[in-house]
């Protein structure tokens, strides 16, 4: 017979298990960093809710286990409003399906908010001081693992640590903030010396981990948090003292001294910002490179302008202004109000604003932002009113200052970043714990009162279990099978298992099919691959028809068509690639990379005049952009036979750091070199087809000259460390080709 204790323990341990989300990984799926964490999170929350429903139906007297006072908490009320408003935003989104389910790249969507809302409610119901302490203890164990992994990664590479658990320095830093907070809370509530020693050890490891993960937004958040916490303690500490190095020292005097030290250090750092010594200090070296003109900062400014434009009621209407574009729909708003000037600093398309406040504003609208900020407002208020029942003023100060520290540090950090799968649980735990310390009394609802929550628990529990199967288990199975096939490099195996990989058609299929199309480049000349190639294209066309607002899908398929069309001589495929590029440009007018790809496509089709017109369009998007001029130079270089276009000088402006012609100089890589060479090849093929010997010879001579230019650029840049050694020159091969053409004419030409 199943006992009450079994139900209680299953619920509590399921929730406690979520402390280990950051270290849950898998290696046999796509986006393995995300998908395992999503599956783990959703399964445990659904499991806890199902067992709670079973417990509610089994037992009438549950007051000793469930605490319903959180229903009156302003944090819970604000979170409830935010969740409801996000649901409205999902319904009003351009693609409600995508807004509800999200993408496997992020593991979010409205459905994940429902899971996290449930997590908040469950912890608020069943966690008391003991369970909160257990969660924070589990979190410092996780923090120790993440810290050790981060430090080891830094030792092995000497570069910003990525580790194996989170694989992103910013993700690591954000989680280690929570690990520090957890260690401080354990010091507040735990009296056993072993746990205190372990907490201090994790504090030290986490600080080192923060230094070697070297994230500017986190360090800025730490500085603001330290100053805020120090100010609070200076005002509120009174005569409280702390034992330090065997002496009892006034907390107020200690923080005032800390204030002075931080101020002095700040002044020294600012005035010696360019000193090479800071470049050797992890955690500070990236600040020494910082200025308002830094590409990252400038791209965030432009992204913020795009974000504000996308919810301007005069242009988008009051529905978007109030409710936003929907969860996981920032990219739709970003693309629609795309500002070409952002390409001076960042060429990737944004699916997040890299500012949590802007993310919420764009995706959830003004009403959603007000609800979101109210959650933080009441959480901040909880930090000021938190108290302990044992009236230990020293520990109460530590509790309040720890909460202030985390709230400020994380919120400031998120002004330059956003929540993600490894920080959702920590943030909701902080909100839940803040709600817990606000509670003063425990309500005792009647049995009649709980009838409705019983059925809510049953319905929501079944929904979350079904959702886990649909949004986590099935995508996990599909991506695992695709990954197995890709590792085997066997197109026949993939075709045999295509039904398992591509159906059912769910929210993960966009990325699965995109990966499938991208993988074709490695097998495009394999005769066994033809059925797989055709099937992959058909599957991707289906995704594009279902999600016509996602340009990245179009670009992936267009590039595949372009590559195969060039190799096989198929004008139909190249024409379809052109259609997709133009369709993409309708969604993102002024995107320079897409314009360049369109120009390349037109040259392949022999439509040179149109291609040159597109080259002018690229410059017209932003003539001051290094990126625009780079693409322009690639298109025009093969035709600059007399130097009338000034391409040689333009390339020096682009690639020579001392020229300072643009806001940045471009660090050349194999990709840029390959593009320059490939553009010459396309013109040569065109003029060979036209049997225009004069133009063919001029382009070939120009290609020989280009090898000298590229070699010179590489020689200039190699001392800077971007390229270890220059790519092999094609000059000799091209000179031989020119000699053969001069001797034998078209009979000496082969491609």
Mean pLDDT of all residues in 600-622: 95
Peptide bond into 528 cis (omega under 30): no
What pTM did the predictor assign? 0.90
pLDDT at residue 275 is higher than 80:
no
Which helix H or strand E contains 604, and what residues bound it? helix 592-604
Instruction: Average the pLDDT over each of 247-261, 392-406, 541-555, 686-700 and give the range with the smallest value.
Output: 247-261
Mean pLDDT of all residues in 160-182: 89
d(CA 148, CA 461): 37
- Residue pair 67/435 in contact (Cβ under 8 Å)? The answer is no
Q: Is 188 among the domain residues?
A: yes
Instruction: Average the pLDDT over each of 305-309, 437-441, 484-488, 691-695 and give the range with the smallest value.
Output: 437-441
d(CA 392, CA 384): 16
Domain boundary residue among 420, 444, 468? 444
Best CA proximity match to 283, nearest among 200, 207, 201, 174? 207
CB atoms within 10 A of CB 616: 13
pLDDT at residue 429 is higher than 90:
yes
Q: Looking at the structure, do residues 597 and 654 belong to the same domain, yes or no?
A: no
Q: Looking at the structure, do residues 592 and 640 belong to the same domain, yes or no?
A: no
Instruction: Average the pLDDT over each of 298-307, 482-491, 497-506, 536-545 and give the range with the smallest value.
Output: 482-491
Mean pLDDT of all residues in 467-485: 90
Instruction: Average the pLDDT over each of 58-62, 437-441, 461-465 and give the range with the smallest value.
Output: 58-62
pLDDT of residue 281: 62
Q: Looking at the structure, do residues 234 and 311 belong to the same domain, yes or no?
A: yes
Residue holding tokens 């920032």?
A: 330
Contact partners, residue 500, CB within 8 Å, separation at least 6: 477, 478, 481
pLDDT of residue 158: 75
Contact partners, residue 406, CB within 8 Å, separation at least 6: 177, 178, 180, 181, 225, 430
Q: Looking at the structure, do residues 529 and 406 belong to the same domain, yes or no?
A: no
d(CA 631, CA 615): 8
pLDDT at residue 694 is higher than 60:
yes
d(CA 483, CA 481): 5
Q: Looking at the structure, do residues 195 and 324 belong to the same domain, yes or no?
A: yes
Range of the domain at 569: 505-603
pLDDT of residue 523: 75
Q: Looking at the structure, do residues 580 and 689 belong to the same domain, yes or no?
A: no
Say if residue 720 is exposed, middle or buried (CB neighbours under 10 Å; 0-12, 13-18, 19+).
Answer: exposed
Structure tokens at 531: 């059925």
pLDDT of residue 447: 46
What band does 722 get if pLDDT is binned at 50, 70 and 90? low
**What is the three-class DSSP state of 241?**
strand
Distance of CA 473 to the CA centre of its chain: 23
Q: Looking at the structure, do residues 647 and 738 belong to the same domain, yes or no?
A: yes
What does the mean pLDDT of the chain come to? 87
397-414 pLDDT, tens digit per residue, is 888 899 999 999 999 999
Domain boundary residue among 544, 574, 603? 603
pLDDT of residue 406: 96
248-264 pLDDT, tens digit per residue, is 666 777 777 777 777 77
pLDDT of residue 441: 45
Q: Is 322 among the domain residues?
A: yes
- Residue pair 603/593 in contact (Cβ under 8 Å)? The answer is no
d(CA 707, CA 703): 6
pLDDT of residue 239: 64
Q: Is 452 among the domain residues?
A: no
Mean pLDDT of all residues in 49-75: 79
380-389 pLDDT, tens digit per residue, is 999 888 777 6
Q: Is 60 among the domain residues?
A: no
pLDDT at residue 583 is higher than 50:
yes
d(CA 706, CA 712): 10
Q: Which long-range contacts (CB under 8 A, 24 or more apart) does 228-234 make?
A: 228/404, 228/405, 228/408, 229/255, 229/401, 229/404, 229/405, 229/408, 230/255, 230/256, 230/258, 230/259, 230/262, 231/255, 231/259, 232/400, 232/401, 232/404, 233/397, 233/401, 234/259
Higher pLDDT among residues 694 and 443, named by residue:
694
d(CA 562, CA 556): 10
What band does 595 get if pLDDT is binned at 50, 70 and 90? very high
What band does 39 get if pLDDT is binned at 50, 70 and 90? very high
Q: Looking at the structure, do residues 422 and 277 belong to the same domain, yes or no?
A: yes
pLDDT of residue 116: 96
Structure tokens at 320: 């978007």
- Residue pair 618/596 in contact (Cβ under 8 Å)? The answer is yes
Q: Looking at the structure, do residues 530 and 633 belong to the same domain, yes or no?
A: no
Say if residue 750 is exposed, middle or buried (CB neighbours under 10 Å; 0-12, 13-18, 19+).
Answer: exposed
pLDDT of residue 456: 77
Say if residue 605 is exposed, middle or buried (CB neighbours under 10 Å; 0-12, 13-18, 19+).
Answer: middle
- Residue pair 431/75 in contact (Cβ under 8 Å)? The answer is yes
Q: Is 44 among the domain residues?
A: no
d(CA 189, CA 206): 20
d(CA 321, CA 364): 9
**What is the three-class DSSP state of 248?**
strand
Q: Looking at the structure, do residues 270 and 416 belong to the same domain, yes or no?
A: yes
Please give the full DSSP string across 60-109, using - where no structure is assigned: S--TTT--GGGGG-HHHHHHHHHHHHHHHHHHHSSSHHHHHH--TTTT-H
Q: How many domains does the chain have?
A: 3
CATH number, domain of 565, equals: 1.25.40.10
pLDDT of residue 241: 63
Q: For the chain, how far is it from start to end, CA to CA, in angstroms?
A: 78
Q: Is 27 among the domain residues?
A: no
What band does 156 get if pLDDT is binned at 50, 70 and 90? confident
107-145 pLDDT, tens digit per residue, is 999 999 999 999 999 999 999 999 999 999 999 999 999
Instruction: Average the pLDDT over each of 50-59, 121-130, 276-285, 468-477 and give the range with the smallest value.
Output: 276-285
Instruction: Average the pLDDT over each of 109-118, 189-198, 268-277 and give the range with the smallest value.
Output: 268-277
pLDDT of residue 283: 59
pLDDT of residue 295: 77
Contact partners, residue 84, CB within 8 Å, separation at least 6: none
pLDDT of residue 307: 94
Q: What is the percentage of the chain residues whose pLDDT exceeds 90?
A: 53
pLDDT of residue 487: 86
pLDDT at residue 446 is higher than 50:
no
d(CA 98, CA 106): 12
Q: Is 332 among the domain residues?
A: yes
pLDDT of residue 143: 95
pLDDT at residue 85 is higher than 90:
yes
Q: Looking at the structure, do residues 411 and 509 belong to the same domain, yes or no?
A: no
Q: Looking at the structure, do residues 590 and 730 belong to the same domain, yes or no?
A: no
Q: Is 2 among the domain residues?
A: no
- Residue pair 69/441 in contact (Cβ under 8 Å)? The answer is yes
């Amino acid at each position: 017979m199943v006992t009450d204790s079994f139900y209680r323990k299953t619920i509590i341990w399921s929730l406690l298990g979520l402390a280990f989300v950051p270290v849950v990984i898998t290696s046999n799926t796509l986006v393995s960093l995300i998908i395992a964490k999503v599956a783990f999170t959703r399964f445990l929350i659904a499991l806890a809710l199902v067992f709670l429903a079973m417990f509610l139906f089994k037992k009438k007297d549950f007051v000793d286990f469930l605490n319903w006072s959180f229903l009156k908490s302003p944090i819970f009320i604000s979170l409830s409003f935010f969740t409801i408003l996000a649901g409205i935003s999902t319904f009003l989104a351009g693609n409600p399906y995508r807004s509800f389910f999200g993408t496997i790249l992020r593991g979010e969507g409205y459905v994940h908010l429902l899971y996290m809302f449930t997590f908040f409610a469950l912890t608020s119901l069943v966690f008391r001081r003991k369970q909160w302490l257990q969660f924070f203890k589990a979190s410092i164990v996780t923090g120790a693992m993440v810290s050790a992994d981060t430090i080891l990664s830094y030792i092995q590479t000497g570069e910003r640590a990525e580790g194996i658990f989170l694989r992103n320095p910013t993700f690591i830093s954000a989680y280690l903030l929570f690990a520090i907070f957890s260690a401080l809370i354990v010091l507040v509530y735990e009296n056993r010396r072993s746990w205190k020693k372990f907490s201090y050890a994790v504090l030290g490891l986490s600080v080192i981990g923060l230094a070697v993960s070297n994230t500017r937004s986190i360090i800025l958040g730490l500085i603001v948090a330290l100053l805020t916490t120090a100010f609070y303690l200076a005002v509120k500490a009174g005569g409280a003292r702390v034992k330090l190095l065997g002496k009892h020292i006034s907390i107020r005097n200690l923080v005032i001294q800390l204030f002075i030290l931080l101020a002095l250090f700040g002044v020294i750092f600012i005035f010696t910002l360019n000193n090479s010594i800071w470049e050797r200090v992890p955690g500070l070296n990236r600040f020494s490179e910082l200025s308002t003109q830094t590409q990252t900062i400038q791209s965030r400014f432009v992204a913020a302008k795009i974000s504000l434009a996308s919810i301007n009621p005069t242009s988008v209407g009051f529905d978007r202004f109030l409710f936003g574009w929907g969860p996981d729909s920032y990219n739709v708003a970003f693309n629609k109000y795309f500002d070409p000037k952002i390409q001076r600093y960042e060429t990737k398309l944004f699916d997040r604003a890299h500012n949590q406040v802007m993310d919420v504003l764009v995706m959830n609208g003004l009403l959603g932002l007000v609800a979101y900020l109210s959650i933080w407002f009441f959480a901040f208020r909880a930090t000021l009113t938190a108290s302990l029942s044992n009236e230990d003023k020293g520990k109460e100060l530590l509790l309040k200052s720890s909460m202030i520290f985390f709230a400020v540090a994380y919120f400031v950090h998120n002004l330059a970043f956003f929540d993600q799968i490894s920080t959702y649980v920590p943030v909701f735990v902080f909100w839940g714990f803040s709600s817990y310390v606000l509670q003063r009394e425990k309500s005792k609802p009647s049995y009649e009162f709980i009838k409705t929550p019983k059925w809510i628990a049953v319905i929501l529990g079944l929904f979350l279990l079904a959702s886990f199967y649909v949004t986590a288990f099935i995508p996990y199975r599909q991506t695992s099978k695709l990954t197995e096939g890709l590792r085997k490099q066997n197109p026949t195996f993939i075709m045999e298992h295509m039904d398992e990989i591509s159906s059912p058609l769910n929210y993960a299929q966009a990325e699965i099919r995109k990966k499938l199309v991208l993988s074709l480049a490695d097998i495009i000349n394999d005769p066994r691959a033809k059925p797989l190639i055709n099937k992959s294209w058909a599957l991707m066309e289906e995704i594009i028809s279902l999600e016509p607002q996602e340009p990245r899908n179009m670009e992936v398929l267009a590039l595949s068509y372009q590559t195969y069309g060039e190799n096989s001589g198929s004008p139909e495929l190249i024409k379809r690639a052109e259609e997709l590029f133009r369709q993409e440009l309708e969604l993102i007018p002024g995107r320079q990379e897409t314009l360049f790809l369109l120009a390349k496509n037109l040259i392949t089709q022999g439509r040179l005049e149109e291609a040159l017109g597109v080259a002018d369009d690229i410059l017209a998007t932003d003539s001051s952009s290094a990126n625009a001029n780079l693409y322009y130079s690639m298109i025009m270089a093969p035709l600059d036979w007399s130097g009338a276009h000034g391409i040689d000088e333009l390339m020096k402006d682009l690639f020579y750091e001392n020229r300072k012609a643009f806001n940045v100089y471009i660090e050349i890589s194999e990709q840029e070199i390959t593009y320059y060479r490939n553009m010459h090849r396309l013109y040569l093929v065109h003029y060979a087809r036209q049997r225009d010997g004069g133009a063919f010879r001029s382009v070939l001579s120009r290609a020989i000259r280009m090898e000298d230019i590229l070699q010179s650029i590489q020689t200039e840049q190699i001392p800077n460390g971007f390229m270890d050694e220059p790519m092999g020159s094609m000059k000799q091969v091209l000179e031989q080709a020119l000699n053969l053409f001069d001797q034998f004419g078209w009979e000496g030409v082969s491609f």
